[in-house]
Amino acid sequence: MNREQAVDRLATLVDRVEDETMPVPVREVWAFGDVALGLDPVERLDVYLTKDVIMGGDADAAAAFEAEYGVKGVGTSVRAEWAEAHPDRVRASDNGYAAPEQCLAAELVAEDEPIHLEVCNASFEDNVRQRLKGALARDAYEEVLDPRGVCLWVDGTRDEEAFDRLREASLAMPTLPAALGMLGADEDAASEAADVLERRRAEQEGASVRGDMV
């Protein structure tokens, strides 16, 4: 998609998060990767969602949904009112529990769209640092999260200036190795991590999603 289309798609996604009931409460929406770098066209649209936990839960709804559909955790892992309205969009993890990140992807992204969702309970900046720390400790560079992100929406407030700057491609961003170096990676590790992320992105097709807990 061209950059204008990519930014329009981000705006539509934020509209939905803002106006509609999501599978879980969403606190932040960030864009990172190609669109933040001002590339045109945008090969893949990378979006980060910070989710909140569901407080209280609904044990009765969970039991009823599991009895009918065989999926656990509705009313605790994801909102019962959303699952009951959209049972076809409920996705479960291997252990049979409703998976918030997969449910968000099913709600927000079509399967054939070149969009990657990152979903975590921590803010983008905190998760960038946690993922890099773990990746450096284990030489697991595929776990690195590109730190060059732009906050579009937080706690109900949209940053219109951020959208304007994405449209104008006016955000000054460092190279990925330089950005990782600013966060503490040495030159060799930063370069290798950037290569690994580039190869991984080249292998992705259609919609994809990753969920994290910090």
Specify the 3-state DSSP secondary structure of 147: coil
Give the pLDDT confidence score for residue 169 in this predicted structure. 96
Q: What is the DSSP string of 150-184?
A: EEEEETTEE-HHHHHHHHHT------HHHHHHHTT
pLDDT tens digits for range 181-208:
999 999 999 999 999 999 998 888 899 9
pTM of the full structure: 0.95
**pLDDT at 131 exceeding the cut of 80:** yes
Instruction: Name beta bridge partners: 30.
Output: 48, 151
Give the pLDDT confidence score for residue 53 in this predicted structure. 85
Question: In sequence order, which ranges of 20-71 are alpha helices (DSSP H)?
Answer: 34-37, 59-69
**What 8-state DSSP symbol labels residue 78?**
B
pLDDT tens digits for range 63-95:
999 999 999 999 999 999 999 999 999 999 999
Instruction: Name beta bridge partners: 209.
Output: 117
Specify the 3-state DSSP secondary structure of 122: coil
| Residue 132 backbone dihedrals phi, psi, to 5 degrees | -65, -40
Interhelix angle 100-108/3-19, rounded to 10 degrees, is 120
Q: Which two tokens stand for residue 206?
A: 């259609």
